[in-house]
Structure 1
Amino acid sequence: MLLPFLIIGGIGIVLLLISLVLGDVFDQFEIGDGAISGTALSVGLVVFGAAGALTASMGLAIVWAYVLAVVLAAVAYVFSVLVVRNLTRSSDGVPQSAVGLTGVSKSDISPAGGEVSLDGPSEVERRLAYSDAPIAEGVRIRVIEQAGTRVKVTTE
Structure 2
Amino acid sequence: MTVFLVIGGIGLVLLLASLVFGDIFESFDIGEGGFSGIAAGVGAVVFGASGVIALSSDLELVWAYVIGAGFAVLAGAVAQLTIKRLSDTEDAPPPPVDGAYGTTTATTGPQGGEVRLEGVRDLEARLAWADEEIAPGTRVVVIGVSGSRVHVRAV
Higher relative contact order (CA 8 A, sep 6+): 1
Note the residue ranges of structure 2 that are not aligned, 5 or more in a row.
97-144, 149-155
Partner AA of 2:87 in structure 1: T
Kindly report structure 1 stretches of 4+ aligned residues shifted beyond 6 Å.
none
- Summarize deviations over 1:31-67 as a string: whole Å, max 9, x none: 1113411110000000000000000100011100000
What TM-score, normalized by structure 2, do the two folds share? 0.59
Which residue in the other structure is 2:47 paired with? 48
Maintained 8 Å contact 1:34/1:81:
no
Which residue in the other structure is 1:37 paired with? 36
Check 1:70–1:30 CA distance in 2 against 1; reply closer, same or farther (3 A cut).
Answer: same
- Summarize deviations over 1:98-142 as a string: whole Å, max 9, x none: xxxxxxxxxxxxxxxxxxxxx9627xxxxxxxxxxxxxxxxxxxx
Maintained 8 Å contact 1:47/1:72:
yes
Q: How many angstroms apart in 1 are the aligned matches of 2:94 and 2:62? A: 47
Q: How many residues align?
A: 100
Maintained 8 Å contact 2:46/2:72:
yes
Maintained 8 Å contact 2:25/2:34:
no
Q: How many angstroms apart in 1 are the aligned matches of 2:91 and 2:40? A: 26
Larger radius of gyration: 2
What TM-score, normalized by structure 1, do the two folds share? 0.59
By how many angstroms is 1:94 displaced? 3.1
Partner AA of 1:11 in structure 2: I
Check 1:35–1:79 CA distance in 2 against 1; reply closer, same or farther (3 A cut).
Answer: farther
Partner AA of 1:64 in structure 2: W
Alignment of 1:117-136 (within 5 A): 121=147
Q: How many angstroms apart in 1 are the aligned matches of 2:44 and 2:87? A: 22
Note the residue ranges of structure 1 that are not aligned, 5 or more in a row.
98-118, 123-156
Partner AA of 2:12 in structure 1: I
Q: How many angstroms apart in 1 are the aligned matches of 2:55 and 2:95? A: 49
Alignment of 1:62-141 (within 5 A): 62-94=61-93, 121=147
Check 1:95–1:40 CA distance in 2 against 1; reply closer, same or farther (3 A cut).
Answer: farther
Which residue in the other structure is 1:10 paired with? 9
Check 1:66–1:90 CA distance in 2 against 1; reply closer, same or farther (3 A cut).
Answer: same
Q: How many angstroms apart in 2 are the aligned matches of 1:38 and 1:70? A: 17
